[in-house]
Structure 1
Amino acid sequence: MQTVVTAEKLWDGTTLHQHPIILIEDGKIDSIASRDSSQVPSGARVLDFPGATLGPAFFDVHIHGAAGRDVMEATPQAIETMGKFLASRGTATYLATTVTASLDATLRALDGLANEIAKLPHPGRARPLGIHLEGPFLSHEKRGVQPAEHLLAPSIATFDRLLDAAHGHVRLMTLAPELPGATELARHATERGVRVSLGHSNATAAETRAGIAAGAVSATHTFNAMRPLDHREPGILGTVLTNDDLYSELICDGIHTEPEIVRLWWRSKGPERAILVTDAMAAAGMPDGEYQLGGFAVQVKEGRATARGVLAGSVLTLDRALANFVKFTDASIEQALRLLSSNPAAMTGLAHRAGSLAPGKSANLVAINASGKLVGSIVGGELAN
């Protein structure tokens, strides 16, 4: 059965269109036209979103869990549960993000995640396109809740074991550039097709620049788990904010970053390099209580997730991140959509699989109203509820 999606506007990943008609068949986009030049086929199911802007579905490059399940479980049941929930919030694709754990536990999780990534997409379900290694090559000083006993010095041999366990599906790795051996590992990872993101770091500006020169392309949850900005030693944060080539993640939940900091970040990184992420853990979409993040307990109360008094991920979803961002910055809907779709796709080298809408591509799209609220999510051609 054919499905037609209409709205006031369409941002397709590069261009803004007025009065679009998107024809979907067999889970893919068949055509994109305007109501001035095309008619709705008779017998098609019509999904109309008056006053809304259509755009590519969201791509979250930093997420640990949701709907009560944790990425480190790496089971079909966990990925299925997460996929259903994320699709209902506008996310069609994501990088399954690990936390620092014992090497054996991490290797087991990577193997399980790789098996899930290899499966065919399921209509109405978000799917992982790859893996984000957040650890074990992180700073002890800026580890956050990452378990200190499982942090490791950067090692090409250990990285290769991790990549092999993931069947080559590691797409992104967070790395503290000041650690001995970090620049050599950044070069090696880049040569093997893995993007490097700088984070959980107490690096100086010079150490950060060395990491970028070695191949780093992004920064992990900017401002959080980073050396504070100082006017005589700008550190990693000053370098991230002023490097026009570096992408930069932000957790826009009003907890990890205040509105003033979100505006500062937006002015610094702009529409080409800013990326919104959730850093969500299992409690996303769930009531207050105790949940797991990797192998340790996290307490969630009134939207704040903490372990031992330290922030431990978030309960954010990307639809709420987008609405918060629009509210905090007054950015346009199409500007904001870039930060959750085309920018993460470009940063990870996955623009052929996410971040844009065109004939022949998967029918993964969202409808956003004028205030930035999600009013419709379509994944694989199916309306996700």
Structure 2
Amino acid sequence: MHSVFTAQGLWDGHCILDHPLITVEEGRIVSIESSGSGPIGNGTDLGDALLGPSFFDVHIHGGAGHDVMEGSDEALSAIGRFLASHGTANYLATTVTAPLDKTLKSLEQIASRIAAGPRNGEAHPIGIHLEGPFLSHAKRGVHPLDLLLAPDIVLFDRMYEAAQGHVRLMTLAPELPGALELAAHAIAKGVRISIGHSDATAAQTNAAIAAGAASATHTFNAMRSLDHREPGILGIVLTCDDLFAELICDGIHNTPEMVKLWWRAKGPDRSILITDGMSAAGMPEGTYQLGGFDVQVANGRAMANGVLAGSVLTLDRALANFIHFTGATVDQGLRLLTANPAAMTGFGDRAGSLRVGDAANFVAVRPDGTLLASVVGGKVVS
């Protein structure tokens, strides 16, 4: 039994195909061709939409009332269904600074779910992002001060082993003693280093990039402010052509003007849209959990002790916001939450493009970036 999908256009991660026809069998793409402008019979016609790869969120803590650090099958399934309904098929389950025993247990549980493989109708955690505990006290954001730790290779190895080697990204403040040594050790194991939650100078940031840092965590947020005589971490993030850089495009963490600045600085090949979403995403206002502490959500803001504590953003909304704020085209926007995160993490074989033989994970979006449909495993889930 096969399914057929068509639309006005398709962006496959590299180029645009007019009037595409995608044929799916047993959850995988078996052909991509042009249908011309004729009818497709019993297929699903998505009209004037642009088809593109499903989204890949490299920085997300939860959603649908659950936190990834719960680690339970129920929690991860609820998060997976919620993300799939908003166009995301793959994500890095992102931790937050917490007591070590809790972190190790969570990593073990998440790793088991990763190893079990994708499930129908759910976004799949294909790796883990460690956000903490090796962060700056001065730029810790909402991370608990008493749980932050100095960079420690032995401790990192305990976390890496608990995660069964599935740690793919780690946020690290490069100015901390031992940070560069830890970065080199982690990179040798295949972990990408993202510099962030940092009060680093320009020189300290350049040293981290020289050591192999690949990206920057939620640009502008929890970073030393830009200064014309000491550009600091932010000045280097915006001007280093080789460094990827995340951004939370919710209109709360960054104004439209700052989104434009980031886009002009990083360009189409190094910009990555993330959500930094927490358990309250998709839920009514109220009090929710982020890694074990309370977060109050009201008027679209997630706050803890007067500090922003993640977001309630979804990647489909981030895409629409980005296009609205910058005037970018929809295919330019799609790259920022598909091909670029896949390239940064090294998961280009499983995410970020549409190819024959791949899992049938794709989205249909309108020219303004709004989501028309999400297809995961060949099934329409929204």
Deviations 1:241-264 (A, max 9, x none): 000000000000000000000000
Hey, what does 1:8 align to over in structure 2?
A: 8
Structure 1 gap segments, 5+ residues each: none
Partner of 1:151 in structure 2? 148
SS of residue matched to 2:281: coil
Residue 127 (structure 1) aligned to one of 124, 142, 146: 124
The residue aligned with 2:344 is 347
User: Is 1:375 aligned with 2:354?
Assistant: no
Task: Look up the match of 2:17.
Answer: 17
What does residue 204 of structure 1 align with? 201
Match of 2:135 in 1: 138
Distance 2:309 2:36 in 1: 50
TM-score between both structures, scaled by the size of structure 1: 0.98
For residue 285 of structure 1, the aligned residue among 278, 282, 285 is: 282
Preserved contact between residue 22 and residue 29 of structure 2 (Cα < 8 Å):
yes
Aligned-residue offset at 1:96: 0.1
Match in the other structure for 2:244: 247
Cα drift, residue 161 of structure 1: 0.5
2: distance between equivalents of 1:295 and 1:170?
Answer: 21
Q: Does 1:194 align with 2:191?
A: yes
In the alignment, the residues of structure 2 paired with residue 37 and residue 120 of structure 1 have an alpha-carbon distance, to the nearest angstrom, of 38
Q: Which amino acid aligns with 2:290?
A: L
CA distance in 1, matches of 2:292, 2:85: 27
* Structure 2, unaligned runs of 5 or more: none
SS, match of residue 31 in structure 1? strand
CA distance in structure 1 between the partners assigned to 2:62 and 2:375 by the alignment = 21
- Residue 108 of structure 1 aligns to a residue whose secondary structure is helix
For 2:5, give the aligned amino acid. Answer: V
Alignment of 1:195-344 (within 5 A): 195-344=192-341
- Equivalent position of 1:81 in the other structure: 78
Match of 2:95 in 1: 98
1:47–1:208 CA distance, 2 compared to 1 (3 A): same
Distance of 2:142 and 2:55 partners within structure 1: 27
Output the CA distance in 2 between the equivalents of 1:14 and 1:228: 35
Q: Contact conserved, 2:57 with 2:341, CA < 8 A, in 1?
A: yes
Residue in 1 that maps onto 2:35: 35
By how many angstroms is 1:120 displaced? 2.5
CA distance in 1, matches of 2:64, 2:45: 28
Deviations 1:306-331 (A, max 9, x none): 00010000000000000000000010
Matches of 1:38 and 1:351, distance apart in 2: 33
Equivalent residue, structure 1, for 2:176 = 179
Root-mean-square deviation (CA), in Å? 1.1
- Deviating 4+ runs (over 4 angstroms): 37-40
Amino acid at match of 1:169: H
Q: What is the SS of the residue equivalent to 1:287?
A: coil
Q: Secondary structure at the match of 2:284?
A: coil
CA distance in 2, matches of 1:229, 1:3: 52
Q: How many residues are aligned here?
A: 382
Q: Deviations over 1:318-368 (max 9, x none)?
A: 000000000000101100000000000000000000000010000000000
Q: Secondary structure at the match of 1:161?
A: helix
TM-score scaled to structure 2, two decimals? Answer: 0.99
1:15 aligned partner, one-letter code:
C
